């Protein structure tokens, strides 16, 4: 799906939060009133909520800050700025991860960052659809190249989880926790998710694309298909967070890029203590699903390799390298 330049211009006009008449919008875009009406309908289809009042015009129901490349770059720290080779922002894209995975087939570039206002085929774990309404959340992916094989970056998603929690803390978000292996939670509800895709030789050079989806604001209508408990930053911090989107992206990159750049040398051991401090599953009753099998037990944390430790009803502790984990009702 493509999003026209006129639609983006319309959003920039509405982003001030004030009412604009249809005539005013048509004049600004040099189009007819019927074209403005079609654009407004298109925005509604993208998940952008509008308010229309007779005699006053149209306004956004909630604040909107479109992604701005220079605004993001201006707020990066020196290390992160040096690690970025390219930062691209797409009005609409199938998937930020998918885009960088395709680029990685043709170039071994490192530090390439892809952001999008809207994803038509955003992905979560196990190929699930990631709900991606326009302009309200963070859809971010980074491409990195490693000289050693995938085995050398085992645990990278756990380390990046620590980086995301640190960034959210710098943004003023409290009570954030990590749910193994790659989810960020707040008070028992999912706030963000990490997806890492790796391609390359089993014992030689490989590339990894690290994707992050973070909820700033999820309209109820758009969130209806989500089957698990979720939360967004607007609920946690209020409306003002919607005006901090570019700053939040910069904070995330400041924390994530050094982790990606240094992971071959630092490894998971440098992050394991922080991960355990942020662990929101320890001591909780869960089910671990692997294929058609379900394992019930109490989470006893993670071991030094990042494997999930689950204690069953008989007191036996088993380590899991993968699996779908869901909390069980008390």
Mean pLDDT of the chain: 90
Residue 126's pLDDT band (cuts 50, 70, 90)? low
CA distance 41 to 29: 16
- pLDDT tens column, 267-283: 888 999 999 999 999 99
The mean per-residue pLDDT over the stretch 177-184 comes to 95
Residue 296: pLDDT above 60?
yes
Does the annotation count 69 as an active-site position? no
| Whether the Cβ atoms of residue 187 and residue 280 lie closer than 8 Å to each other | no
Question: Any binding-site annotation on 70?
Answer: no
The mean per-residue pLDDT over the stretch 293-322 comes to 95
Q: Which domain holds residue 133?
A: 69-276
Residues 86 and 217 grouped into a single domain: yes
The domain that holds 34 is classified in CATH as: 1.10.10.10
Q: What is the pLDDT of residue 130?
A: 57
Residues 76 and 166 grouped into a single domain: yes
Q: What is the pLDDT of residue 122?
A: 62
Question: Any binding-site annotation on 97?
Answer: yes
Residue 123: pLDDT above 80?
no
> Could you say which of 19, 38, 60 is where a domain stops?
60
Helix (H) or strand (E) holding 212: strand 206-214
Residue 329: pLDDT above 70?
no
Q: What is the pLDDT of residue 242?
A: 86
Among the listed residues 202, 154, 204, 188, the one whose alpha carbon sits nearest the alpha carbon of residue 322: 154
Helix (H) or strand (E) holding 57: strand 57-60
Residue 96's pLDDT band (cuts 50, 70, 90)? very high
Residues 265 and 318 grouped into a single domain: no
> Could you say which of 25, 41, 60 is where a domain stops?
60
76-80: long-range pairs with CB below 8 Å, 24+? 76/250, 76/253, 76/254, 77/254, 79/254, 79/257, 79/258, 80/250, 80/253, 80/254, 80/257, 80/258
**Residues near 30 by beta carbon (within 8 Å), at least 6 away in sequence:** none
Residues 47 and 166 grouped into a single domain: no
Helix (H) or strand (E) holding 199: strand 189-200
Residues 86 and 219 grouped into a single domain: yes
Residues 29 and 109 grouped into a single domain: no
Among the listed residues 12, 16, 17, the one whose alpha carbon sits nearest the alpha carbon of residue 29: 12
The token pair that represents 275 in the structure block: 């991960």
Does the annotation count 328 as an active-site position? yes
pTM of the entire structure?
Answer: 0.89
Residues 130 and 247 grouped into a single domain: yes
Residues 48 and 85 grouped into a single domain: no
Q: What is the pLDDT of residue 107?
A: 78
Q: Which of 125, 170, 247, 284 is catalytic?
A: 125
Does the annotation count 179 as an active-site position? no
Residues 152 and 79 grouped into a single domain: yes
Q: Which of 33, 69, 221, 328 is catalytic?
A: 328
Out of 173-177, 231-235, 325-329, pick the least confident: 325-329
Residues 225 and 158 grouped into a single domain: yes
| Whether the Cβ atoms of residue 211 and residue 143 lie closer than 8 Å to each other | no
Q: Which residues pair with 120 in a beta bridge?
A: none
More confident site: 222 or 65 = 65
Residues 77 and 108 grouped into a single domain: yes
Q: What is the pLDDT of residue 187?
A: 94
Q: What is the DSSP letter of 131?
A: P
CA distance 81 to 327: 39
Question: Any binding-site annotation on 95?
Answer: yes
**Residues near 214 by beta carbon (within 8 Å), at least 6 away in sequence:** 137, 138, 140, 164, 184, 191, 192, 233, 248, 252
Question: Any binding-site annotation on 284?
Answer: no
The domain that holds 299 is classified in CATH as: 2.30.30.100
Q: Domain total for the chain?
A: 3
Q: Which of 123, 190, 234, 245 is catalytic?
A: 190
The domain that holds 119 is classified in CATH as: 3.30.930.10
Question: Any binding-site annotation on 293?
Answer: no
Residues 258 and 303 grouped into a single domain: no
Q: What is the pLDDT of residue 214?
A: 96
Q: What is the pLDDT of residue 20?
A: 93
């Amino acid at each position: 799906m493509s999003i026209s330049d006129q639609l983006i211009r319309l959003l920039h006009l509405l982003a001030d939060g004030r009412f604009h008449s249809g005539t005013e919008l048509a004049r600004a875009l040099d189009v007819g009133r019927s074209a403005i009406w079609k654009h407004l309908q298109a925005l509604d289809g993208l998940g952008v909520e509008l308010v229309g009042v007779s005699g006053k015009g149209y306004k956004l129901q909630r604040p909107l800050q479109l992604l701005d490349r220079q605004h993001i770059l201006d707020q990066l720290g020196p290390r992160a700025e040096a690690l970025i080779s390219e930062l691209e922002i797409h009005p609409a894209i199938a998937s930020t991860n998918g885009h960088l995975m395709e680029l990685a087939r043709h170039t071994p570039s490192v530090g390439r960052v892809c952001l999008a206002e809207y994803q038509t085929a955003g992905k979560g774990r196990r190929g699930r659809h990631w709900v991606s309404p326009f302009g309200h959340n963070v859809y971010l992916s980074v491409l990195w190249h490693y000289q050693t094989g995938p085995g050398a970056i085992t645990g990278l998603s756990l380390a990046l989880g620590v980086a995301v929690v640190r960034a959210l803390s710098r943004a003023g978000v409290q009570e954030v926790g990590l749910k193994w292996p790659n989810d960020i939670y707040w008070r028992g509800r999912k706030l963000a998710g990490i997806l890492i895709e790796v391609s390359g030789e089993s014992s030689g050079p490989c590339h990894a694309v690290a994707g992050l989806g973070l909820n700033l604001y999820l309209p109820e209508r758009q969130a209806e298909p989500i089957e698990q408990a979720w939360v967004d930053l607007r609920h946690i911090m209020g409306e003002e967070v919607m005006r901090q989107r570019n700053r939040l992206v910069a904070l995330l990159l400041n924390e994530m890029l050094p982790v990606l750049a240094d992971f071959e040398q630092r490894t998971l051991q440098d992050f394991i203590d922080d991960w355990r401090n942020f662990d929101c599953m320890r001591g909780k009753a869960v089910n671990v699903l692997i294929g058609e099998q379900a394992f019930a037990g109490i989470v006893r944390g993670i071991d030094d390799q990042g494997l999930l430790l689950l204690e069953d009803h008989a007191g036996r502790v088993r380590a899991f390298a993968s699996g779908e984990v869901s909390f069980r009702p008390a």
